[in-house]
Amino acid sequence: MLQAIVPPHKTNLPSLIDYLTTQMVKQGVKVDLGTEATPELIEETRPDVVILATGITPLVPAIPGIHRPSVVTARQVLDGEEVGERIAIIGGGLVGCETAEFLAEQGKMVTVLEVLDEVAARIILALRLLLLSRLADKGVTILTGAKCQELTDSGLAIITREGEKQTIAADSVVLAAGETPNRVLLQRLEGKVPEIYPIGDCVEPGGIAEAIADGCRIGLRI
């Protein structure tokens, strides 16, 4: 949620963070910040139940040059990572499009590359149309049906929908090509604690509402 509140038009989300934080204080929930939940630490505390909300890991496309220093994730950008003036975003889902709008508002030249036929296809139609309209107004270029081939000194080499080779000039490449559940800790804890419940994105990537519903369901269950 700390990244979700950064793009434009997310003014409704900070109050939700405040609400959840307030409720934890009221209910006496102990929060340890800056502490990694290692298997050893969890075993030492001997909990009756472990609830895992370890989230997702960004997917990294298997294309040559993807590990260049100029490549960052959308999460890093929303956390304040510095990027260049010409940006190529790999992935046109909601995260990719919202990151594009965030960067375009800073005056960056942004190109969104999506292998599918549509961008932001999974959000409500009315919100999608508003988002696409804002991106167009801010000069964001959107290329659908685009297959990324290689990252070179010149930029990002792609094959267009028509099968033509093209290079997108880019100082920085932002990865927003999806995510996979982060189940590393789940695998390391299995058989070591009495009860363990994964919830939220580490089960299946979804939205804020789904994650909250997951937490409520498990809270009632235990």
Local confidence band at 122 (pLDDT 50, 70, 90 cut-offs): confident
Architecture category of domain 32-56+180-221 in CATH: 3-Layer(aba) Sandwich (3.40)
Model confidence, pTM: 0.90
The DSSP bridge partners found for residue 198 are 52
- Given this model, what pLDDT does residue 69 score? 94
Beta strands, E only, the chain: 49-52, 56-58, 71-73, 86-90, 109-114, 141-144, 147-151, 156-159, 165-168, 172-175, 179-181, 195-198
Res 119 pLDDT > 90: yes
- 195-221: average pLDDT: 93
- 17-28: average pLDDT: 96
Is the torsion defined by CA of 205, 209, 215, 219 positive or negative? negative
Domains 32-56+180-221 and 60-177 share a fold: no
Local confidence band at 154 (pLDDT 50, 70, 90 cut-offs): confident
Task: Take residue 172 and report the two structure tokens written for it.
Answer: 């920085």
- Sequence spans of domains, the chain: 32-56+180-221, 60-177
The answer to whether 185 and 52 are in contact (CB under 8 A) is yes
CATH of region 60-177: 3.50.50.60
Residue type at 59 in one-letter notation: L
Instruction: Give the span between the Cα atoms of 101 and 114, in whole angstroms.
Output: 15
